[in-house]
């Protein structure tokens, strides 16, 4: 079914199923907007199916030329227009955030799960993987993570992976802070998914007590999982279990 379009002097809206796309006419053509709406509708539908969620979410996309960083605020997703045009927009990542907001989970899990789902969907042919920080999605994230673990920038953000909080500068410095944090978080979440299953991760995303739920589901804390993951990735990368580290763990 073709999307419906509504236009004004400088902005227009296209609808496809439960997706609404608002865009700037000077930056994006109507057919491009319609094509993206269809892509987003498929992505939403397939994410709900993959995660075992009811098909009822309605999302709005704001495509703007001035937007610098893609983000989801509630059920509204903001994307840079140039990334939509170049098919490098992390729209599946942001759909995952909108549908599974992980309100009570630590940042490493929320971002890692969104990255994992984005790659899982694209690998099933349901849209494209933006690969903003990884070279080959779920298939190559461990190799990417190993490279970051060997880099001082990766070591600098590592204390926040498997722990509460986000590294300073994650918004301002996407290359040196956000990139290693997202990749390492993605790799750790993939490690969890491979061993506990995606259904368990979806349950963690929706729980109100992440730490207790992780222990109940897996029998391990976030600290234990991080240690196992690091031992597999690079034995020398393991963090010392200091008292301050124990206090900040997300599980």
Look up residue 219 and give its two tokens: 């029998």
Instruction: Tell me how far apart the alpha carbons of residues 204 and 206 are, in angstroms, rounded to a whole number.
Output: 5
* Model confidence pLDDT, tens digit, residues 77-97: 999 999 999 999 999 999 999
Residue 55 has pLDDT above 60, yes or no: yes
> What is the predicted pLDDT for the residue at 12?
97
| C-alpha count within 13 angstroms, C-beta hemisphere, residue 149 | 22
Instruction: State what percent of residues in the chain have pLDDT above 90.
Output: 88
Per-residue model confidence as pLDDT tens digits over 223-234: 999 999 999 986
Residue 129 contacts by C-beta under 8 Å, 6 or more apart in sequence?
Answer: 92, 118, 119, 122, 123, 137
Answer whether residue 42 shows pLDDT above 90: yes
Is it the case that residue 239 has pLDDT exceeding 90?
A: no
Q: How far apart are CA 96 and CA 111, in angstroms?
A: 9
pLDDT at 234: 66
CA 9 to chain centre: 34
The pLDDT of residue 134: 95
> Is 50 exceeded by the pLDDT of residue 195?
yes
pLDDT band at 20 (very low <50, low <70, confident <90, very high): very high
Q: Tell whether the model's pLDDT for residue 246 goes beyond 50.
A: no
Percent of the chain with pLDDT over 70: 89
Report the alpha-carbon distance of residue 140 to residue 124 in Å, rounded: 16
CA nearest 117: which of 51, 19, 191? 51
What's the confidence (pLDDT) of residue 248?
Answer: 30
| Residue 213: pLDDT band with limits 50, 70, 90 | very high
Q: Give burial (CB, 10 Å; 0-12/13-18/19+) of 247.
A: exposed
Q: Is pLDDT of 2 > 50?
A: no
**pLDDT for the residue 233:** 87
Q: Which helix (H) or strand (E) holds 76?
A: strand 76-80
What is the model's pLDDT at position 223?
93
237: pLDDT strictly greater than 90: no
Q: What is the mean pLDDT of the chain?
A: 91
Q: Convert the pLDDT of each residue in 135-194 to its tens digit.
A: 999 999 999 999 999 999 999 999 999 999 999 999 999 999 999 999 999 999 999 999
Helix, strand or coil, per DSSP, at residue 154: helix
What average pLDDT does range 4-26 have in this prediction? 84
| Residue 235 pLDDT | 52
Look at the domain 4-98 and name its fold: Zincin-like (3.30.2010)
Q: Which residue has the higher pLDDT, 54 or 239?
A: 54
């Amino acid at each position: 079914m073709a999307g419906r379009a509504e236009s004004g002097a400088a902005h227009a809206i296209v609808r496809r199923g439960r997706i609404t796309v608002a865009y700037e006419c000077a930056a994006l053509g109507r057919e491009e907007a319609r094509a993206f709406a269809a892509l987003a509708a498929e992505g939403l539908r397939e994410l709900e199916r993959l995660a075992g969620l009811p098909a009822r979410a309605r999302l709005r996309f704001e495509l703007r030329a001035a937007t610098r960083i893609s983000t989801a605020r509630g059920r509204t997703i903001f994307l840079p227009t140039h990334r939509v045009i170049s098919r490098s927009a992390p729209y599946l990542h942001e759909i995952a955030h909108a549908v599974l907001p992980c309100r009570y989970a630590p940042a490493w899990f929320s971002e890692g799960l969104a990255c994992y789902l984005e790659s899982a969907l694209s690998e099933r042919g349901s849209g494209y993987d933006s690969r903003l920080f990884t070279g080959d999605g779920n298939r190559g994230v461990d190799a990417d993570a190993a490279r970051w673990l060997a880099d001082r920038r990766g070591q600098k953000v590592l204390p926040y992976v498997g722990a509460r909080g986000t590294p300073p500068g994650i918004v301002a410095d996407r290359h040196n802070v956000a990139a290693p944090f997202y990749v390492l978080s993605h790799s750790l979440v993939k490690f969890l998914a491979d061993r506990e299953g995606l259904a368990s991760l979806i349950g963690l995303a929706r729980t109100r007590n992440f730490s207790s739920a992780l222990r109940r589901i897996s029998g391990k804390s976030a600290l234990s999982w991080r240690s196992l993951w690091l031992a597999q990735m690079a034995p020398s990368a393991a963090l010392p279990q200091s008292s301050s580290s124990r206090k900040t763990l997300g599980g």
